[in-house]
């Protein structure tokens, strides 16, 4: 009879948690105690040792949590988890960290998984925005966990050393940009540039309905997730890895060529002008060493994996990074795109302007460069984003999401525009 009462209360707790998650309401220890008859001290024990995988604590509000993942369970599954002791759970090694560090890591991990679930949900159209919102929360919580475990204060301070407070009287914790500066000590990193790109993109699309942004940023989204995984495992341990919760990380291989073309065309419309300009300008300012780094943007081949034994269960597809192509030449020969290791298309528009200006000794700016490629019919313009180019001067690189130019184009412009008549003709064109 006593055991029956116990499981009845656990079932009430399960139903309460499901209701909180469904209504996106916080779970408060006192409220669940009143709803279930469980003692508050028992609930706190369950939160620490059994329910922590479902609860994201509100650091600023004591005994308050956000519920994630209970709706996906049956009561029988919840009973199994509730019956486990902490040391028998999958994440048993977590207990070696302080309570606050564990709380922050659970929050980071929950939001990373939530970001992936949004991206992989086929019913969600604007995946990128939802993904970024939660992956940024995940990164902030992870950085705070690292600083907490290292004894570093991660909040803003007044001159007297007391914590700064916002207008609501709450402590002002470091946001993502400050966390990055502290962690990397101001050194330029592809990881930081990846996060800056995604947060900047979020700010541009947060008040618009722009679904065709998604296929243009898949590489950055995947890199962000991989970087998160690497950092949480390297600073803590494998028990915090996302792999145990994700069969496949981001389902990016489903982006068809047709969808990519639609996305590129959509980016030329007026509705996408601000976003397109941001993407192009952000990528253009980065050095090649960052752009080509897998930690900034992941580039992979998805290739068939042939198993000699048809009865053996094995992964049928394998991700192969570009920089590991040499070990898979036989497998990818059929699908490999034209990609020269020493591509002649090296120069972004700003680089062309810089080099022509240095050698021309007269005014040559971005406006004149645009007039030049139009005047000499070097590449398509307007809505014809992908089209025929004069290959000796210009080429479209899908990984770069734009046109790059050759040294031959720079030499041509310097020679052509050194002639006063031709220079003035171009200016008046």
Q: Where are the domains of the chain?
A: 1-89, 91-297, 299-336, 349-428
Distance CA 303, CA 320 (A): 7
CB 215 within 8 A of CB 263: yes
**380-382-384-389 Cα dihedral, nearest 10 degrees:** 10
What are the φ and ψ backbone dihedral angles of 233, each rounded to 5 degrees? Answer: -75, -40
Give 354-394 pLDDT, tens digit per residue: 999 988 888 999 889 999 999 999 988 754 555 678 888 98
pLDDT along the chain (429 residues), means of 10: 74 88 84 87 82 73 78 75 53 56 87 84 79 94 93 90 83 92 89 93 72 74 90 86 52 44 49 71 83 81 48 44 48 35 73 90 89 90 64 73 84 92 88
Domain 1-89 has CATH 1.20.1280: no
CB 135 within 8 A of CB 198: yes
- Looking up tokens 């040294």, which residue turns up? 407
**H-state helical runs in 254-348:** 257-266, 273-285, 288-291, 329-332
Q: Which residues contact 6 (CB under 8 A, 6 or more apart)?
A: none
H or E segment to which residue 266 belongs: helix 257-266
Nearest to 221 by CA among 110, 103, 328, 118: 118
Mean pLDDT of the chain: 76
Amino acid 327: pLDDT: 52
420 token code pair = 């006063």
């Amino acid at each position: 009879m006593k055991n029956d009462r116990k499981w009845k209360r656990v079932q009430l707790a399960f139903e309460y948690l499901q209701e909180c998650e469904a209504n996106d309401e916080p779970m408060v220890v006192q409220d669940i105690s009143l709803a279930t008859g469980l003692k508050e001290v028992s609930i706190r024990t369950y939160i620490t040792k059994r329910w922590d995988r479902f609860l994201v604590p509100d650091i600023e509000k004591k005994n308050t949590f956000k519920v994630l993942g209970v709706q996906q369970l049956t009561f029988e599954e919840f009973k199994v988890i509730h019956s486990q002791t902490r040391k028998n759970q999958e994440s048993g090694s977590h207990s070696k960290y302080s309570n606050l560090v564990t709380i922050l890591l659970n929050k980071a991990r929950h939001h990373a998984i939530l970001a992936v679930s949004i991206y992989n949900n086929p019913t969600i159209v604007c995946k990128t925005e939802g993904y970024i919102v939660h992956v940024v929360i995940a990164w902030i919580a992870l950085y705070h966990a690292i600083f907490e475990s290292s004894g570093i204060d991660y909040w803003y301070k007044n001159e007297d050393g007391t914590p700064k407070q916002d207008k609501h009287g709450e402590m002002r914790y470091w946001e993502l940009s400050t966390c990055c500066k502290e962690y990397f000590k101001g050194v330029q990193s592809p990881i930081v540039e990846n996060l800056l790109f995604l947060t900047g993109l979020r700010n541009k699309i947060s008040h618009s309905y722009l679904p065709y942004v998604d296929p243009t940023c898949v590489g950055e989204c995947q890199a962000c997730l991989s970087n998160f995984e690497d950092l949480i495992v390297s600073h803590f341990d494998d028990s915090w890895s996302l792999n145990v919760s994700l069969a496949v990380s981001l389902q990016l291989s489903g982006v068809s060529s047709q969808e990519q073309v639609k996305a590129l065309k959509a980016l030329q419309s007026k509705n996408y002008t601000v976003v397109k300009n941001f993407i192009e300008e952000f990528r253009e300012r980065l050095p090649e060493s960052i752009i080509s780094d897998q930690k900034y943007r992941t580039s992979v081949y998805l290739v068939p994996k042939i198993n000699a034994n048809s009865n053996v269960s094995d992964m049928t597809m394998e991700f192969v990074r570009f920089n590991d192509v040499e070990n898979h030449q036989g497998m990818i020969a059929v699908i490999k795109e034209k990609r020269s290791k020493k591509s002649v298309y090296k120069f972004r528009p700003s680089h062309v302007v810089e080099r022509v200006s240095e050698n021309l000794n007269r005014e040559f700016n971005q406006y004149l460069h645009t007039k030049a490629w139009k005047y000499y019919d070097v590449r398509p313009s307007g809505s014809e984003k992908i089209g025929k180019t004069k290959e000796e001067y210009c080429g479209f690189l899908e990984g770069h999401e734009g046109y790059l130019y050759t040294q031959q184009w720079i030499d041509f412009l310097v020679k052509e525009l050194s002639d006063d008549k031709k220079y003035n003709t171009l200016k008046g064109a």
